[in-house]
Amino acid sequence: MRVYESGKESARANAPARLAVGVSDGPYRLRGASDAAWPSYGYGQRATASQRLGGAVRSVLRTIVPVLALGAALGSMFLYMDTPLPYVTDAQGHWLTVSHLLLPAAFLTIHLTNRRYGPAYAFAQVVLALAALAAMALFGGEVVRNLLPPTVMPGGREVGAFCGAFLVAGFLSIVAFDGARGPRWWTAPLIGSVVAALVYALVFYPGAYLGTATPWVDHMAVHIGVLLAAAVLGLFPFWLLRGLIQPLPGFGGY
């Protein structure tokens, strides 16, 4: 009997250790908004209709500012397509424009949303911002065309390549950012920006210019260098904003 009780007590003592090991073991799992420390309900207690409605309203309100910020960054890229940088040129002239430099700002808004609300909200931000711009192009095409000279209006292939590249790069950067959360505050934004830069360039340039006379390989190499430099420089505004944009419980406090 004593042997049985001693074995039972040791099993109880080892149970928390086994549970703690089980929590940290296993492959990486993408964290979602459900991992945050939301108020819990008692056993057998269900959320009322007003509570569900309130949660839906909070979710919508949380996405408004991130979507507006990303939409402003993407809209600025479109507006400054005809503003070339005078120091980068080739046989086709000044091909690198201000819009190329504004792309890291769009990824920065995604990183800040991911930091605050997690990957689910960050991906919703990307999808909703692209959907809003697509709706604007469809229903306000005449207004959009008047904003730019006809010589810099992107073709359908370029627009499709940009949307696809930005969607894929945004999603993978969200996964990279969330997986790199840790005690060093700069690790997640740096890795997320590097992943976004490489994926975007490797998807956009072949998709937009493969088979054409445009020297897209050289352009892609230069743009990758610009985006990687911007990934390092972008740590400064991220550092300035990390005190203002604190992550919710469950997403790490770094």
Alpha helices in the chain (DSSP H): 2-24, 49-79, 98-117, 119-139, 141-147, 156-179, 187-209, 216-233, 235-241
Of 116 and 19, which is predicted with more confidence? Answer: 116
What is the reported pTM? 0.77
pLDDT tens, position by position, 236-254: 999 999 989 999 887 765 6
pLDDT tens, position by position, 26-80: 445 566 655 554 454 555 556 677 666 666 666 777 788 899 999 999 988 988 8
Residue 95 clears pLDDT 80, i.e. is over it: yes
Q: Cα-atom radius of gyration of the chain, to the nearest Å? A: 23
Q: Residue 16 has what pLDDT?
A: 45
User: In the chain, where are the structural domains located?
Assistant: 51-241
